[in-house]
């Protein structure tokens, strides 16, 4: 299948279909399985309200919990999260260059890896716990999802719905860095088992925390 052309969804928000090769997707799936085992294992994040997120998350570099980053996962098992590997940070730099068409300084120091089963969703939210305004890099593997990319003022309209398929890259920064976004739906059975992921969706987001 010939990938669709890249598209700017909003100023600073770019969708690049089919950016990851099949080999790169397989490598990431294998790596995610290792990271999911720990030292801080994959888990359903508990929200301050007491609700539980339907996606499962594992973190690298920094541990995220609403609404802060720490090196140690006090809410899981009290252990320090695994380091962000250099090869993944380099992949993030290539992603930003691929989306924006030019190289720029980009040094991600954390990755949030979310696994969606067929029923999992992500409500509209902003990625605003970072002290840096560097772009967010999002990589998708497995089942296709409906990705809703909104505005910076409200969780409601206007927004644009984009289908993210396996291998797709989405980068948002600049005027769109604090845009609300979410995943209202995953389409089970739409992924390619050749990625090594038989079902569900993996989403890797790379970020610059601005923390020390």
Whole-angstrom CA distances from 140 to 20, 67, 77, 97, 130 are: 9, 24, 28, 17, 22
Q: What is the mean pLDDT of residues 103-113?
A: 96
59-106 residue pLDDT tens:
999 999 988 999 999 999 999 999 999 999 999 999 999 999 998 999
Measured distance CA(30)–CA(32) in Å, rounded: 5
Q: What is the mean pLDDT of residues 25-43?
A: 97
Measured distance CA(10)–CA(185) in Å, rounded: 21
Q: What is the mean pLDDT of residues 35-45?
A: 95
Q: What is the mean pLDDT of residues 41-50?
A: 91
160-177 residue pLDDT tens:
999 999 999 999 999 999
* CATH 3.50.50.60 fits domain 7-207: no
Strand, coil or helix: what is 24? Answer: helix
In this predicted structure, the answer to whether residue 47 has a pLDDT above a threshold of 80 is yes
What integer pLDDT is reported at residue 2 of this predicted model?
65
137-151 residue pLDDT tens:
999 999 999 999 999
What integer pLDDT is reported at residue 1 of this predicted model?
60
Task: State the DSSP string of 84-145.
Answer: PPHHHHHHHHHHHHHHHSS-------EEEEEEE-TT--EEEE---S-S--PPEEEEEEES-E
């Amino acid at each position: 299948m010939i990938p669709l052309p890249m598209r700017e969804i909003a100023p600073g928000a770019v969708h690049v279909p089919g950016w990851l090769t099949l080999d790169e997707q397989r490598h990431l799936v294998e790596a995610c399985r290792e990271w999911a085992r720990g030292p801080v294992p994959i888990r359903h994040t508990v929200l301050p309200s007491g609700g539980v997120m339907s996606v499962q998350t594992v973190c690298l570099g920094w541990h995220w919990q609403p609404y802060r980053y720490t090196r140690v996962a006090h809410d899981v098992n009290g252990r320090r999260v695994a380091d962000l590997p250099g090869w993944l940070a380099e992949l993030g730099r290539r992603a930003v260059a691929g989306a924006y068409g030019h190289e720029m300084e980009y040094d991600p120091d954390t990755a949030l890896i979310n696994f969606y089963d067929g029923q999992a969703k992500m409500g509209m939210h902003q990625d605003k716990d970072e002290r840096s305004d560097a772009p967010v890099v999002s990589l998708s593997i497995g089942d296709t999802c409906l990705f809703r990319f909104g505005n910076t003022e409200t969780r409601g309209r206007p927004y644009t719905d984009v289908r993210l398929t396996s291998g797709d890259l989405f980068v948002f920064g600049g005027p769109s860095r604090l845009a609300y976004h979410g995943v209202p739906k995953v389409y089970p059975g739409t992924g390619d088992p050749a990625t090594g992921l038989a079902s569900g969706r993996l989403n890797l987001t790379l970020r610059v925390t601005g923390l020390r």
